[in-house]
Structure 1
Amino acid sequence: MAQLWGGRFTKETDQLVYDFNASIKFDKKLYREDIVGSKAHVKMLAKVGILTDKEALDIENELDNILESIEDGSLVIDETCEDIHSFVEACLIKKLGDTGKKLHTGRSRNDQVALDMRLYIRKKLEEIDVELKDFLGVILRIMNENLTTVMPGFTHLQKAQPITVAHHFGAYFEMFKRDRQRLFDIKERMNFCPLGSGALAGTTYNLDREYTAELLGFYGPTLNSMDGVSDRDYVIEFLSALSIIMMHLSRFSEEVIIWNSNEYQFVEIDDAYSTGSSIMPQKKNPDIAELVRGKTGRVYGTLMSLLTTMKGIPLAYNKDMQEDKELAFDAIDTVKNCIILFKGMIDTLKFNKDVMRNSAKNGFTNATDAADYLVKHGVPFRDAHGIVGRIVLYCIEKNIGIEDMKLSELKSISDVFEDDIYDAISLDTCVNTRLTIGAPSVEAMKNSIKKETEYLKNS
Structure 2
Amino acid sequence: MNQTTRLWGGRFRKPPDPRLMKLSSAAGEHARLVPQDVAGGKAHAAALESAGLLSRTERDLIAQGLDGIARDVAAGTIAPAAGDEDVHTFIERVLTERIGPTGAKLRAGRSRNDQAANNLKLYLRQKARSIGAMLAELLAAIAEQSERHAASVCPGFTHLQNAQPATFGHWLMAHGQVLLRDASRLQDWEKRSGQSPLGAAAFAGSAITLDPAASAAALGYEAPFENSVDAVAARDHVAEFLFVAALTLADLSRLAEEVTLWTSRQFGWVTLDDGFATGSSIMPQKKNPDIAEISRGRAARLAGDVVTMLGALKGLPLSYNRDLAEDKRTAFDAVDVLEEVLPAFAGLIASMEVHPEPMRAQAGLGFTLATEVADYLARQGVPFAEAHEITGALVRYCEEMGRELESLDAVDLRAVDPRLDGGVLDCLTLDAAVKARSGHGGTAPERVREQIARFRTRLSALEGWAGETGR
TM-score if structure 1 supplies the norm length? 0.97
Aligned to 1:44: 47
Structure 1 CA distance for aligned equivalents of residues 68 and 279 of structure 2: 49
Structure 2 residue aligned with 1:272, among 275, 281, 284? 275
Is 1:167 aligned to 2:173, yes or no? no
Structure 2 residue aligned with 1:317, among 313, 317, 320? 320
Give the total of aligned pairs.
459
Contact 2:162–2:365, Cα closer than 8 Å, also in 1 = no
Is 1:5 aligned to 2:8, yes or no? yes
Contact 1:152–1:162, Cα closer than 8 Å, also in 2 = yes
Aligned to 1:383: 386
Offset of residue 449 of structure 1: 1.5
Structure 2 CA distance for aligned equivalents of residues 164 and 146 of structure 1: 7
Aligned to 2:437: 434
Contact 1:26–1:325, Cα closer than 8 Å, also in 2 = no
Aligned to 1:368: 371
Please list the CA deviations of residues 252-291 of structure 1 after superposition, one character each: whole Å capped at 9, or x if unmatched. Answer: 1111111112211121122222222222222222121111
Which one-letter code corresponds to 2:26 in the other structure? Answer: S
Contact 1:48–1:208, Cα closer than 8 Å, also in 2 = no
Specify whether residues 289 and 206 from structure 1 end up closer, same or farther in structure 2 by C-alpha distance, changes over 3 A only. Answer: closer
Structure 2 residue aligned with 1:90, among 93, 98, 102? 93
Aligned to 1:199: 202
Offset of residue 440 of structure 1: 0.6
Give SS of 1:43's match.
helix
Is 1:111 aligned to 2:114, yes or no? yes
Structure 2 residue aligned with 1:251, among 229, 250, 254? 254
Please list the CA deviations of residues 363-391 of structure 1 after superposition, one character each: whole Å capped at 9, or x if unmatched. Answer: 21111011111112222211111111111
Give SS of 2:163's match.
strand
- Tell which deviates more after alignment, 147-156 or 446-455: 446-455
Offset of residue 206 of structure 1: 4.3
Contact 2:154–2:360, Cα closer than 8 Å, also in 1 = yes
Q: For 1:228-377, list aligned pairs within 5 A.
A: 228-377=231-380
Offset of residue 25 of structure 1: 2.5
Give SS of 2:224's match.
coil
Give SS of 2:396's match.
helix
Structure 1 CA distance for aligned equivalents of residues 100 and 419 of structure 2: 97
Is 1:184 aligned to 2:184, yes or no? no
Structure 1 CA distance for aligned equivalents of residues 459 and 299 of structure 2: 26
- Structure 1 portions without partners, runs of 5+: none
TM-score if structure 2 supplies the norm length? 0.95
Structure 2 CA distance for aligned equivalents of residues 79 and 344 of structure 1: 40
- Tell which deviates more after alignment, 323-332 or 275-284: 275-284
Aligned to 2:422: 419
Is 1:16 aligned to 2:16, yes or no? no
- Structure 2 portions without partners, runs of 5+: 463-471
Structure 2 residue aligned with 1:149, among 149, 152, 159? 152
Specify whether residues 206 and 80 from structure 1 end up closer, same or farther in structure 2 by C-alpha distance, changes over 3 A only. Answer: closer
Offset of residue 168 of structure 1: 0.6
Give percent identity, aligned residues only: 39
Contact 2:48–2:208, Cα closer than 8 Å, also in 1 = no
Which one-letter code corresponds to 1:369 in the other structure? Answer: E
Please list the CA deviations of residues 156-192 of structure 1 after superposition, one character each: whole Å capped at 9, or x if unmatched. Answer: 1111111111111111111011101111111111111
Structure 2 CA distance for aligned equivalents of residues 352 and 206 of structure 1: 65
Give SS of 1:323's match.
helix
Contact 2:51–2:208, Cα closer than 8 Å, also in 1 = no
Is 1:444 aligned to 2:447, yes or no? yes
Moved >4 Å (runs of 4+):
none
Structure 2 CA distance for aligned equivalents of residues 168 and 52 of structure 1: 64
Which one-letter code corresponds to 2:35 in the other structure? Answer: R
Is 1:225 aligned to 2:233, yes or no? no
Which one-letter code corresponds to 2:31 in the other structure? Answer: K
Structure 2 CA distance for aligned equivalents of residues 276 and 442 of structure 1: 36
